[in-house]
Every structure is written in C-alpha cells, then in structure tokens.
Structure 1
Amino acid sequence: MDRLVKPDLKEINLAFKKGQKCTTTFRLTNLMHTMAVAVSLTTTNPSVYSFNQVFSVIPPLSSSTYTLLISQPSDKPPLSSPPDIITVRSSMLPIGKAHQDYLRSLFSKPGPHVFRDATIPINLVGHQVVDFLISHHTQIPEIEFFLKKGISGCTGSQLTSLLKPAILYSNANFVTEILDAGADVNCKNSDKRSMITLAIRAGDLGILKVLIAAGCKIDNSVDRILHEAAATDRVEMMEFWCKRFGDIDVNSVDLDGRTPIHVTAVRGFVEVLRFCVSVGGKVDVLDCNGWSPLHYAAAEGHLQVVKYLLECSNVKYVLNNEGKTAFALAVDNGHLHLLDLLHLGSVLHRAARVDDIHGMKTCLAEGANVNGRDQNGWTPLHRAAFKGRIESVKLLLNNGAQVDVVDDAGYTPLHCAVEMGHVQVALALIAHGAKANVKSLKGVVPLNFGRFKNHPSVVHPVS
C-alpha cells in the first residue's frame, strides 16, 4: 500500500480575482474498503493559502470535498516559481472517528503510520492573472510558464479582451499565445479600428507581422495605416506596409482631408516626410480647412520639415480658409526662426526696394537674412542699389550685407547702381570696398561709368 487516498485532479487551477477571497474545490477519495482514513492538508505557502478543513476523516470507499482559498484579498496574484503545492498526507484510522486534537497529534509525528499520498501544484488562472503578467512582463521570471497556465483559465471573450493590452505592451510572444488560445484577431478597438492600427500605434513591427499572419483584416474607411505610422514616426512600418501591399495610396485622406504628409508635418518627423515623398506623396495637398502640410509645420515651428517642404514645392504663399499663409501662422505662434524661410526675406526685399527703413530694421531685428536671395539671385542690396535707395543701402551695409555678391547673371549691387545712374549709391558701395570689375561665372563684367564720369567724387577704375 503506497497511498490511502487519491485526489480527483493532478493540479489545481485557482481563478484569481483582484480584491477577493478566491476559492476552488477538489475531492479526495478513500481507497480503503473497510477502514476510515485520516487526512492532513498543508501548503508550501500557508501565509497565502488555507483550507476549509486542515484535518478530516474519510469513511471507507467514500469521498470528501475540500476548499482551497487565498486567505487575504490582494491586487496582484501570488505567483511563485516553482509553483506552490498542496501536500496530502493520510493515516489509517481503525477507530473510524477522531477529534481535531487527536488528528493534529497524529500527523505531528512522522512515522510509518503516515502516508504521503499526493503533491498537487497550485496554478493561478484567469484573465486577471494574464492581464497582470502582460503589464509586468519585464519583472517576472519564467513568465511563459505562468502565461500558459493563466490562459488556460480564460474564456474566448476574455482572451479577446486581453489582446489589446498585449499589443499595447509590445509583447509579440504574448500576442501569439493569446491568439493561439482562441482570441478573435479581427476584434475591434473602442474606436472601431482593427488590432493592426493598435500595433502601429504601439510601434511594434513584430506584432504587426503576427497579426497579419493570423489573418487580421483592416477597414480602409476607419483604419488609416499610413496616417497612424506617420503620427508615430514609424518609417519602418510604412516601408513594410507599402512593400507588403503595393497598391497603397500614400495620398489618401482622412475625414479632415489630411494626408499622411499632413500628419508628419504636424509632428515634425522629417524622415517620414522624406519617405512619403519618395513613394509619390504630394506636399501641396490642402485639407478641409485649406491647410497645406507647410501650414502645419510652420504653425508647430518644425524647421527641418519646413525646409524640406519648401525644397519640394513653393507653397508658402498659399492661403488657408482663414486667409493665412504659413508665414502668418509662424508669426502667430512666435516661431521667429522660420520667418526668413517662409516670407521675411521677401518682406526685406520689398522694404529695400521702397526705402522703408523702419520695415527693414524690423525685418533684420526679427532675423531676416540680410544676404537672402530672390529667384534671380538678387539680395536686398541689389534691389536698393538698383532703385537708388541710398539710406537703405547704408542700412544694409551696416548690417553685414555683402558688397560684391553677384546675382544669377553675374551682376553686383555696384553694377545695378551704375547701370541706373545712381551716383551716391555707387559711391557708398565703393567706399565699402565694392570692386569696379568683378569676375562672375560669365567672366569679367565691366562697369559703364559713362553716365556720371564727370562727377568729382568718382574715382575711375584703371582699365
């Protein structure tokens, strides 16, 4: 005889619930035909687990039911590695009955009269166990064991509800286990979007691949895959998605008329922007409010995005539905570092042309580039010299204007002044070191001093 009683299970699954006294039952059967058996139950963690009866008597060939419970309610499952176990000990009881004190004394002394009939592992199961494991997965050793046991006590709907946190905590192994156990891969998020959108928001390419392999489907009317990837700076996800599904429209719009380029312009993700453009993204699309991506980048102050958008297309003068340019939005939000790029240089050119000294001083104080060029390569000094605006010329020179800068045709500000006969301007430029003959890409461009060759202040260049 190697044991007197037999449990009805090999391991106990105890469903854990936060803040509650969790219980489960099991049965022990007396294998003796003619004699009662005394039973003792203990656990390896008596501070956590207890029984409704520690000592009991089972009549011949009869069974008794026992309750295992977690003594103190807790917010986290009492996981243990290796698992806590129940030890079942037994002893023959010829008298058939006994008081608790007698049974306690009977099992207090080891000897041949006491049999060790079974050791039963205690597994904590249920969706609250799995949810805890998901949120604490970096802190728990041997977590795969606990996960498999925890999942075994979940219903299909509970498994599906666990899919979202598993994705958000970026654990591809958990997602795989939950899906394999029966979770619905095509369940929807609270905003009616698919789990693929959730994976992109979490930024986990591995989970994205798991979901696709498991048959997860998207609804293009609500799942804005490229928009979501653009919002989270996930170039690698956009690349994967475009390669996997070659017919993706990078210029697709959301309910507000915004493309993925609008989204990345808001966030300031220049690498995502470059990728979108490389696969055919358009930077001049206006959303429902008439905002281009440049409007958003300017409003948010994203310098590198603004620079790149201006390289791709000149949309800086486009008005949104409120009648504002990107420049105006940058001004409204105090992004002075963008003003020269977006418009300030043009304002300085205009002020120099009309001799608006106050306007020029304001532009320069706000960071305008004194040597900024227009589409013909002219600087503000070219414009002021061409128009003969002597005060503007002096102001520009005193603020660092390059006196011998050449335009796209090879002309300097001095050329402009001489050609238009503006003596005082030419003299001021020469006084600041302007050279009479400047070699440009087209060779030496000679100056014609004929219009004011008799002016007493002119120092004629040596030919």
Structure 2
Amino acid sequence: MDRLVKADVKEVELVFIGGQKSTAAFRLTNLMHTMSVAVSLTTQSPSFFSFNKPFSIIPPLSSSSYTLLSQRSDQPPLSNPPDSIAVKTTMLPLGKAHHDDLRHLFSKPGIHIFKDATLPISFVGPHVIQHLISSHTYIADVDLFLNKAISGCSENQLTWLLKSAVVSGEPNLVCSLIVHGGDLNDKDTKGRSLISLAVEAGNFEVVNVLISYGCEIDNSVDHVLHYAAAIDRVDLIDFLLRAYKNVNLDSVDLCGRTPIHIAASYGYTEMIRFCLTVGGNPEVLDINRCTPLHLAAQEGHLDAVACLLEASNYSKYALNKQGKTAFALAVENEHSNLYDLLHLGDALSRAARIDNVNGIKSLLAEGANVNGKDQNGWTPLHRAAFKGGIESVKVLLNHGAQVNLVDDNGYTPLHCAVEAGHVEVAMLLIAHGAKANVKSLVPLNSDCFKNHPSYVQPVCHEKERA
C-alpha cells in the first residue's frame, strides 16, 4: 500500500495579514476499510507553525479536519522551496492510544511509519503582494510568490495593488497584476490614470508597460507632460509625445501653465531646450499672466533665463497681473545674477544710444554685459556706433566690446557707423580690428551707394526706431 490517508488539498494556503496570526484548514481521509490510522503532522519551522492536532487517530474510511496556525509576523516568511507539512501515518490495530503513546510511536523510525504526503505551505492575499512590492531587498522567485499570493485577492484588491506597484516602480509586478485582473484604467482620487502615477514616480519601464497594455489618459486631468517636466525627465516627455498623439507641449494645467512653465520654475534648462525644439511656445501666459521667464527669474535660475531669452523677444517685456516684468521679480527676490540679462543690458543700450558715458561706466561696474544683445541682436556698441558717440564707443571698447559681433541681419557696429556717416567712429572701430570686408561701407546718402550692385536696403534706422 502506497499510503494510508489522502489529503483534500495539494497545498495549504494561509491568508497572511501582517501582525496577525493566520490559520488554514484541511482534511485527511483514512483509506483503510477496517483499521484506524494514527497521524503525525510536522513542519520544518515548529517555532512558527503549529497544529490544533499534531497527533490524531482517524477511524476506518473516516475523515478528520486539521488547522494549521502561524505566529504573528510583520512580513511573510517566504522561501523557495516553501515550508511544508509532513503527513506521517501508521496503522493502529487497536484503534486508540494516548497522546504520549502516539508521540513515542512516531519518534521511532521504521517500516511501520508511512510518509503519506508533503503539503507545501503558501502565503496568499494582498498583504503578501504588498510586501513583494514594498520590499527593498532582493527576493528570489518573486513571480512564484506573486502568482500564489494572487489566488487570495479580490479584483478590487488587485487593482489597489496595481496602483501600489506602479508608484513603487515594479514593472514585472505591474505586468502580472494586469494579467491577473487588476484594472488598468482605474483612476486615483483625483481622477488621474495610472500613467500619471507612473510618470510622477519617474519609472520609464512602468510607463512603457502601461502604454503597451493600452492604458488610457484624460488630458483634462492627466497632465503627464507637466509631471515629466517637474522631474526633469526629457526621455519620458519624448516617449509620451510619441505614444499619445493627443498630448502637446502647449497644454496647460489648472494654473494655466505649460510644461515649459514647470521646467522654468525648477530651472531645468535642458528640459526647456527640448520643449522648445519640439515646438513648445515660450510665451504662453498662465492664470497670473506669467510667462516661463517670469517663473525662472523669480527663482533665480540664470541658465534657464538665458535660454528663454534666446527663444522669446516678447517675454522680457511682458507684464504679469501685478504689472511686473521678469526683471522686477528678480529684483524683488534679490537675484542680482539676473539683472544684466533682464535689465542692465537694456539700460546699457539706452545709455549708449544717448552717449551717456558716465551711465555706461556705472552700468558696466554693476555687472552689465558689454556684449549683451537686444531683441534685434544689437549690442551697446552697435547703438553707440550708429549714434556716433565716440566717447561711448571708446569706453565700450576699453571694457571688452567685440567689434565684429553681428546683429540679426548680419550688421556689425562698423556697418552702423558707416551707414550713419560717422567716419571718426568707423576709423576707431577699424583701428580696434573691425573687419571692413562685409557689405558696402559707403555712406547711406551716397548716390553711388544706391546704384551699387551690392546695395542692400539698410535696416539700422528701422531698428533704431524700434
């Protein structure tokens, strides 16, 4: 005979709840027609597992119920191979015996002892899965434990666990929970999708899994590009733009801000550059009529300010709801490193235009950029040369003004001086290395200049008026 009893299960499942004792019931049936059978139940971890009846007697062709108990624990004692129940039996001709007699009987090995069954012990339920999700240590065979634990979870519990796995950044667990019934398109309390949670967590692999399974987003609440911008993840923004055709970089959140606003507020220059490269608008106004430049200036982000100034002529002069420019916000928050970019350069250009030599010196002493350009690409030297301010030109040159910088139309300060007829300024610039081999240098009022085949309609006067 191969065995004396038969178990009603192949595996005993314990619903694990952290900090509580767990119990699981199973039955054994005596297969003998005429003889009682004595049963012994043991595990490899007697300090953690116990039985309501470690020794028992089952009459012929009868069944008996047993309860496996586990001690309290904060986390399930997962192992592979798992702990198991060893079911040992022996025939009992008299049909009865005292507990101590049974203990003594099973303590002696021999052919009279049958090992009828080995029942693996599995921990199931949401607490097991949450442990797998939140564990910060490596767990071997995690998929094995997960697949067993899932059998003790409802669909709602699987969905709750799916959210937890998404936030924790566990792509394999996310995939398994979706396959076993977790609701891929469930929403959080704010109505946001799992994609939003994954992007906020910054886990590219989880985002990829969710998208591959068809997770949907609602643009009115799922500001996924904003979340990616907030954590400076260019790779995520790029991936999301490719995956969802209905998202765009000019979309606004509840504050009317675009992803560029968000990146600007944190000073993420590379993120700003990427957004601009793929078509983002740097001049969108939020609900407070702030441009991204306002936010970058308010926080003192020098590189971000410089990047936004390169991309927008308007933003530097835009007024928010309080009537403040980006420069005003920089001053208000004492970000003196931004003054030149946002204002001193303008003041320096104005001083150069009116030949205010003392003003030029003062502004340069305060840190104004001698080679800073205005919205038309003109430097202070362009302005001074066009106006013929010889003393201003000298001061600027002595402070490092570059004589061959060109404006947006390719004009150098020398062009401006010649076109305006300021010979002395032109000669001074040439003496400082200005190149005279570009465009015509004939005075503007010369008929031969107008009839020259290389004549180009001058733009300096239009810029000056601007």
Partner of 1:122: 121
Partner of 1:285: 284
Partner of 2:48: 48
Maintained 8 Å contact 2:385/2:414 = no
Distance 1:2 1:414 in 2: 110
> Within the alignment, does 1:257 sit opposite 2:256 as a pair?
yes
Correspondence 1:54-69 to 2 at 5 A: 54-69=54-69
Distance 2:373 2:279 in 1: 30
Distance change in 2, residues 1:278/1:386 (3 Å)? closer
Distance 2:116 2:342 in 1: 84
Structure 2: give runs of 5+ residues left out of the alignment. Answer: 444-466
Q: Deviations over 1:306-342 (max 9, x none)?
A: 2232222212111111121112222333333332222
Normalising by structure 1, we get a TM-score of 0.83
Distance 2:442 2:215 in 1: 73
| Cα displacement (A) at 1:232 | 2.8
Distance 1:249 1:402 in 2: 42
Counterpart secondary structure, 1:316 = helix
> Within the alignment, does 1:411 sit opposite 2:407 as a pair?
no
Distance change in 2, residues 1:397/1:313 (3 Å)? closer
Q: Deviations over 1:231-264 (max 9, x none)?
A: 2333333333333343433322222111222222
Partner of 2:329: 329
> Within the alignment, does 1:435 sit opposite 2:410 as a pair?
no
Distance 1:281 1:376 in 2: 23
Residue identity matched to 2:34: T
Partner of 2:39: 39
Single out whichever of 52-61 and 85-94 deviates more from structure 2: 52-61
Distance 1:403 1:257 in 2: 41
| Cα displacement (A) at 1:172 | 1.8
Distance change in 2, residues 1:241/1:108 (3 Å)? same
Q: Deviations over 1:208-245 (max 9, x none)?
A: 34323434222222112322232233333333333334
| Cα displacement (A) at 1:152 | 1.5
Single out whichever of 206-215 and 180-189 deviates more from structure 2: 206-215
> Within the alignment, does 1:377 sit opposite 2:378 as a pair?
yes
Maintained 8 Å contact 2:355/2:384 = no
Maintained 8 Å contact 1:157/1:183 = yes
Counterpart secondary structure, 2:28 = strand
How many residues get paired?
435
Partner of 1:133: 132
Distance change in 2, residues 1:137/1:397 (3 Å)? closer
> Within the alignment, does 1:208 sit opposite 2:207 as a pair?
yes
Residue identity matched to 1:31: L
| Cα displacement (A) at 1:410 | 4.2
Distance 1:215 1:438 in 2: 62
Maintained 8 Å contact 2:250/2:259 = yes
Distance change in 2, residues 1:43/1:378 (3 Å)? closer
Normalising by structure 2, we get a TM-score of 0.83
Q: Deviations over 1:176-224 (max 9, x none)?
A: 1111111111211122101121122223343334323434222222112
RMSD, matched Cα: 3.3
Counterpart secondary structure, 1:283 = coil
Distance change in 2, residues 1:217/1:444 (3 Å)? closer
| Cα displacement (A) at 1:18 | 0.6
Distance 2:373 2:223 in 1: 41
Correspondence 1:83-94 to 2 at 5 A: 83-94=82-93
Partner of 2:238: 239
| Cα displacement (A) at 1:268 | 2.9
Residue identity matched to 1:270: T
Maintained 8 Å contact 1:438/1:445 = no
Maintained 8 Å contact 2:381/2:401 = no
